[in-house]
Amino acid sequence: MRGRTRRAILAAAASALARDRGATLADIAEAAQVGRSTLHRYFPDRQELLNATIVDSFRVVEQSIAAAAVHQGPPREAMRRLITAMVDVGDRLAFLFGDPRVLEESTACFEPDASVPTALSLIERGQAEGVFDPQVSAEWIQEMLYAITYTGWEAAERGLLPRHGVTSTVIRTFENGLAVRP
Amino acid sequence: MRGRTRRAILAAAASALARDRGATLADIAEAAQVGRSTLHRYFPDRQELLNATIVDSFRVVEQSIAAAAVHQGPPREAMRRLITAMVDVGDRLAFLFGDPRVLEESTACFEPDASVPTALSLIERGQAEGVFDPQVSAEWIQEMLYAITYTGWEAAERGLLPRHGVTSTVIRTFENGLAVRP
DNA sequence: TGTTTTTGGGACATTGATGTCCCACAATGA
DNA sequence: TCATTGTGGGACATCAATGTCCCAAAAACA
């Protein structure tokens, strides 16, 4: 099926580019188990593949985050669901946010999406309710949310953390930091 | 002076490669305000420049970290000095740790250095004294130490955080996380 | 079965980065 | 001042990635 091949290429592209942003089209084609000609048939040039991968990854991430229903329930619980959802799509996040340049390009092929404001609004709600640190900006909390999740994903990737322990470790670090309260 | 030019190239390389690991030799030469010929005269090929930049960055980072004297005093204070030292050499850290592949290559041109164990030993000491979270591994704390510092450096780079506020924000996040303790 | 669609691989041209060489020019120092 | 050293830029070959085209084989479908 044609849609099948397309999805395989996009998934392979996100995964390969997350691990190495300099990955060759040949690398990606091989990862997708597809000939380089076929890849070019679906995506005429590298830029188009990149754009399509960005759009697709946003879609996957958005979908996963939407399922977390971050606007419902207490902020702390909502954040835990959000983190779980983000860890689940770690490779897509690593692709999108692992390299600042990818994000810049996204504005060229994608309108400001709804998922980021979603996380930000949860953070702001949590700050208003006194659950998240009000001494730092909501944007900083959001940056750290991505950073901790990414670090957890990468740690699992390198075998430093067991896959099943990533979510709880990320949540724990997000909530408590690394020091014991005095 | 010859050493002067060499240092300028190495600093420019670390800085340029931290912001864009695909930076061209022409880009680096321009950033160092030096002709491409001159760059090649000092470093015959890209790999040699990369190796030299790795070695030099490790040296700079080690030196800065050494000044923090992390083996002295209470772990919490030592960690604050360490974080301050790391933020000071943020661009070098971003170059060394921003891309996992750079770190892999470093083993090819550099023996396992003394600075990383230094951070790790501080963490282990702090855990033993009940100052740092004993529920997660020391390696995880070390990963997060780099991740938070890097995020702070990048946030300042993008104007999201004021330069003078980076250190305190990083320390605060490291110690307390992003949630308010219940 | 025969027809249509999709695929994989080979054979190019093109492009951009890289590495080499050379020479004129500027800076440094005796 | 002259001589040595370091520098910048141009010219060039090389190489890897990219993009295009074509055709035979495989797969999907009737």
* Distance in angstroms: CA A113, C1' D16: 37
SS3 of chain B = CHHHHHHHHHHHHHHHHHHCCCCCHHHHHHHCCCCHHHHHHHCCCHHHHHHHHHHHHHHHHHHHHHCCCCCCCCHHHHHHHHHHHHHHCHHHHHHHHCCHHHHHHHHHHCCCCCHHHHHHHHHHHHHHCCCECCCCCHHHHHHHHHHHHHHHHHHHHCCCCCHHHHHHHHHHHHHHCCECCC
Specify if B181 maps to a domain.
Answer: no
Query: In this complex, is the C-beta atom of A159 within 8 Å of any C-beta atom belonging to chain B?
Result: no
A12 within domain boundaries: no
pLDDT tier at A37, thresholds 50, 70, 90? very high
Q: Residues, chain A, total?
A: 182
Tokens 């380089």 belong to A36
Q: According to the model, what pLDDT value does residue B114 have?
A: 56
With an 8 Å Cβ cutoff, are A178 and B143 in contact? no
Q: How far: A26 CA to C19 C1' (Å)? A: 25
What is the domain-level CATH number for residue A159? 1.10.357.10
What is the reported pLDDT for A117? Answer: 61
Interface contact flag, A174 B173, Cβ < 8 Å: no
Q: Does a structural domain hold residue A102?
A: yes
Residue of A169, A179, A181 with shortest CB distance to B174:
A179
The pLDDT of residue B52: 95
Distance B157 CA to D11 C1' (A): 39
The answer as to whether B182 is a domain residue is: no
**CA–CA separation, B21 and B28 (whole Å):** 11
Q: What is the pLDDT of residues B9-54, one digit of tens each?
A: 999 999 999 999 899 999 999 999 999 999 999 999 999 999 999 9
Of A126, A141, A169, the CB nearest to B140: A169
Which among B116, B154, B178, B181 is the top mutation candidate for probing chain A, defined by the most A β-carbons within 10 Å of its own β-carbon? B178
| Biggest distance spanned by C-alpha atoms of chain A | 61
pLDDT at A139: 96
Q: Mean of the pLDDT values across residues B136-160?
A: 96
SS3 (DSSP) at A20: coil
CB contact under 8 A, A178 and B133: yes
Rounded to whole angstroms, how far apart are CA atoms B176 and A178? 7
Domain count, chain A: 1
A174 touches chain B (CB under 8 A): yes
How far apart (Å, rounded) are the C-alpha atoms in residues A70 and A76? 10
Chain A residues in contact with B155 by the CB 8 A cut-off are 140, 143
In which region does residue A170 sit, left (phi positive, over 0), alpha (psi from -120 to 50) or beta (all else)?
A: alpha
Domain ranges, residue A87: 54-176
If we measure between CA atoms, which residue out of B169, B149, B84, B179 comes closest to residue A136?
A: B169
Question: Which of A120, A173, A174, A181 is the best substitution to test chain B (most B C-beta atoms within 10 A)?
Answer: A173
pLDDT digits (tens, 9 = 90+) for A145-158: 999 999 999 999 99
| Higher per-residue confidence, B2 vs B136 | B136
Please tell me the number of Cα atoms within 13 Å of B31 on its side-chain side.
19
Answer for the pair B82, B167: CB distance below 8 angstroms, yes or no: no
| φ, ψ of residue A26 in degrees (nearest 5) | -65, -40
Residue A109, pLDDT > 90, answer no
Q: Look at residue A4 and tell me if it is in a domain.
A: no
